[in-house]
Structure 1
């Protein structure tokens, strides 16, 4: 009877580790990851720290909404089905121009975020274009590393930090 109970506890632990994810399971086994951005030499909190996913998604939402307004008002001739295609093109141009010159899009600026190179400087134009193309494809943006950076940022050797 007792061995059956032990099996249930082991199953719960296995299921719990699966639900919480590999990072939590590794931390339960004693692996030290440190805070997000530590490997990049960024502070844990405050200006210069790694931007949190919630702020990044909100900034993306603001930028997308602005691009939809521009696409609907100026480029799509009032046709709703053409608006999203034009919005993607406007988003790509907006991202290249603003991140390439000032380091942030309007949504990132509103939420206090900036895109910088891993060494802290500005991104070069080819790296901004690479980052934007990967972001427009979407798949690289939803694949994250343990610091919370998307694959598009890793490819361009960029970091989104708090201002």
Structure 2
């Protein structure tokens, strides 16, 4: 007879290989600077970025919802292209690095931001804790 623990559960999480180091398939180190960023820093940096955009929108555009989205888009594309990190990522000591391909960072930032705004690619992750928008853009969020 099949037991429940033989089948597993969605609560067990994704299958994990023993000894696999997150980011190793991307060529990233296991620990320290350049390693895959811890999960908790990513949503926190997103909250900081959204908060900044909402504050500017409230002061300049009377909190217009379209202005919120445009500001978030512009902040992400501009800061990722120029500095490799958004203001929230800078505060939390994160950086977005290209890990595949040879496309310019401006194009990577555009793809990453558009897919992040669609929301679904941001909540689907691979075994390297790389969200789908980072996979499509060929980027990874790492610690500084």
* Fold shared, TM-score > 0.5 on shorter chain: yes
Is 1:57 the counterpart of 2:46? The answer is: no
Q: Provide, for residues 45-98 of structure 1, a one-character-per-residue CA deviation record: whole Å limited to 9, x for no partner.
A: 11000011110110001001001101111012xxx5x3x332111000000000
TM superposition shift of 1:158: 0.4
Q: Which of 132, 141, 163 is 2:113 aligned to?
A: 132
Cα distance in 2 between the residues matched to 1:151 and 1:86: 26
Q: 1:123 to 1:153 in 2, by over 3 A?
A: farther
| Conservation of the 8 A alpha-carbon contact between 1:96 and 1:132 | yes
Q: Which of 15, 22, 34 is 2:20 aligned to?
A: 34
Q: Secondary structure at the match of 2:33?
A: coil
TM superposition shift of 1:108: 0.2
Query: What are structure 1's unaligned runs of at least 5 residues?
Result: 1-6
Which residue does 1:4 correspond to in 2? Answer: none
Task: Tell me how large the CA RMSD over aligned residues is.
Answer: 2.3
Q: Which of 14, 26, 45 is 1:22 aligned to?
A: 14
Moved over 6 A (4+): none
TM-score (norm. length: structure 1):
0.79
| Conservation of the 8 A alpha-carbon contact between 1:103 and 1:122 | no
TM-score (norm. length: structure 2):
0.89
Aligned length: 143
Q: Normalized per residue, which structure has more helix?
A: 1
